[in-house]
């Protein structure tokens, strides 16, 4: 059927909306046509040619919930075992770029809405579906643009977006996660200046590349102080209970010891570690112009993710003793952390439905994200936002490594579970 999530996802994958350049307006028109056929008119907001976002509203009443996803994807690159924009459906799996980030969520949201329309569900409020542009490059032309220029189009009691880790299955139990917050960003450029000279007599010069390289090496050995916010503490204590680990280890001075005892994969454990401290990663370094010229300038782009209560001033106070006084630190992007409470009734309702779907022994826990999603714009605008990563209990755990990588894919059972969750959430909240 045209409204099935796998058919919609397959169609979406076949639209190459790699960002750059984006091409999200094609996705917007595809969605607009789907809803038109169902008798509901949506709209496209296009701040620049080809960079359109799609919005549609279903139902009417005082309550409203926003289902948000982004229509752009990262470039596919080479080395895939199949055509990255094929959208092939085979043996219960949908293949292609965007299958997990995050056209799967878009397909589930759209499919759930179309089912509610077809069933003439008596919604006593509005379900808002928004598929926005430009998330993979920061969201300036998508959710950020809409909230700055047309905030009422996205205004809602709460929002459901991407952002949570996929479930963990251990000892026959499935653990689902709801993302309640994101670390902030304090990206900076570190600069070293020296004195140029001829490469054949380097002792007469002052090599900026060497100077900055030494500072970067020291950065790599830097460990920030541990910060344990309440949601993360709750998460860790639940994991301690599940795996029989002493809960007394869930305190700032013992967190690394606790994490080493968790019988979970390295990728997930490191994700948990990143929730407890500022992280610093120098990812680009540039310097020098010619092999026989000692460089007098070198710079490094550093990705810094910060915890609540930390800002650029804090970051500089921490890193200045590490890199030294001769290194300049220029902050070029700052955004504070954003959070939504896990005590809100919206979270409790999402948790309730998740546990019902998960069956006996299922757990649902709050997490914060080290990365960034468009939820940061919503929370900054006063809209509580929660991320999901729901998957079927038999999902392919190896597929999580394909996000922003090669051979991206998702099983259709997980697509249907997401769709059922979103449909039930809208039905109950807007009852």
Per-residue pLDDT reduced to its tens digit, 373-407: 999 999 999 999 999 999 999 999 889 899 999 99
Q: What are the CA-CA distances from residue 147 to residues 31, 154, 181, 236 (Å)? A: 21, 7, 19, 34
Same domain, 240 and 171: no
Query: In DSSP terms, which residues pair with 126 in a beta bridge?
Result: 64
| Residue 1, pLDDT score | 46
342 and 303 in a common domain: no
Q: Which domain holds residue 223?
A: 184-335
Same-domain pairing of 193 and 148: no
Query: Do 374 and 320 share a structural domain?
Result: no
Q: Report pLDDT for 171.
A: 76
In terms of domains, do 31 and 145 share one? yes
The pLDDT score that the predictor gives to residue 151 is 98
Q: What is the mean pLDDT of the chain?
A: 96
pLDDT tens digits along 354-382? 999 999 989 999 999 988 999 999 999 99
What mean pLDDT is predicted for residues 187-207? 98
Q: Which of 276, 307, 335 is the last residue of a domain?
A: 335
Do residues 114 and 212 both lie within one domain? no
Into how many domains does the chain fold?
2
Cα 56 to Cα 126: distance, rounded to the nearest angstrom: 10
Q: Which residues make Cβ contacts (< 8 Å) with residue 33, sequence separation at least 6?
A: none
What's the rounded mean pLDDT across residues 199-212? 98
Do 162 and 41 belong to one domain?
yes
Shared domain check, 202 and 64: no
């Amino acid at each position: 059927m045209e409204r099935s999530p796998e058919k919609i996802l397959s169609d979406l994958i076949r639209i190459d909306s790699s960002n750059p350049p984006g091409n999200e307006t094609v996705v917007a028109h595809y969605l607009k046509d789907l809803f038109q056929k169902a008798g509901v008119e949506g709209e496209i907001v296009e701040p620049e040619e080809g960079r359109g976002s799609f919005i549609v509203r279903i139902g009417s009443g005082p309550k409203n919930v926003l289902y948000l996803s982004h229509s752009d994807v990262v470039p596919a690159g080479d080395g895939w075992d199949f055509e990255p924009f094929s959208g092939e459906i085979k043996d219960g799996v949908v293949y292609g770029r965007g299958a997990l980030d995050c056209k799967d969520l878009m397909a589930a949201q759209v499919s759930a809405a179309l089912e509610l329309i077809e069933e003439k569900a008596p919604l006593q409020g509005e379900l808002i579906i928004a598929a926005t542009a430009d998330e993979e490059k920061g969201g300036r032309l998508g959710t950020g643009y809409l909230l700055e220029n047309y905030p009422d189009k996205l205004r809602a009691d709460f929002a459901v977006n991407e952002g949570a880790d996929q479930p963990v299955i251990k000892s026959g139990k499935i653990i689902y996660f709801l993302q309640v917050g994101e670390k902030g960003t304090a990206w900076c450029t570190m600069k070293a200046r020296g004195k140029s000279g001829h490469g054949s007599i380097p002792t007469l010069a002052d090599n900026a590349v060497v100077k900055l390289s030494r500072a970067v090496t020291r950065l790599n050995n830097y460990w920030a102080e541990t910060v344990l916010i309440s949601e993360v503490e709750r998460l860790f204590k639940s994991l301690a209970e599940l795996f029989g680990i002493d809960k007394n280890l869930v305190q700032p001075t013992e967190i690394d010891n606790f994490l080493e005892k968790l019988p979970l994969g390295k990728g997930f454990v490191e994700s948990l570690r990143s929730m407890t401290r500022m992280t610093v990663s120098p990812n680009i370094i540039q310097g020098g112009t010619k092999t026989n010229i000692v460089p007098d300038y070198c710079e490094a782009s550093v990705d810094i993710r910060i915890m609540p209560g930390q800002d650029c001033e804090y970051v500089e106070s921490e890193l200045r003793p590490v890199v030294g006084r001769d290194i300049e630190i220029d902050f070029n992007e700052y955004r504070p952390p954003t959070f939504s409470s896990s005590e809100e009734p919206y979270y409790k309702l999402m948790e309730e439905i998740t546990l019902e779907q998960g069956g006996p022994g299922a757990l649902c826990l709050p997490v914060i994200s080290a990365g960034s999603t468009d939820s940061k714009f919503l929370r900054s605008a006063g809209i509580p936002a929660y991320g999901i990563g729901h998957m079927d209990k038999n999902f392919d755990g190896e597929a999580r490594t394909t996000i922003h990588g090669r051979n991206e894919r998702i099983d259709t059972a997980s697509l249907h579970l997401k769709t059922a969750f979103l449909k039930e959430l809208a039905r109950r909240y807007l009852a």
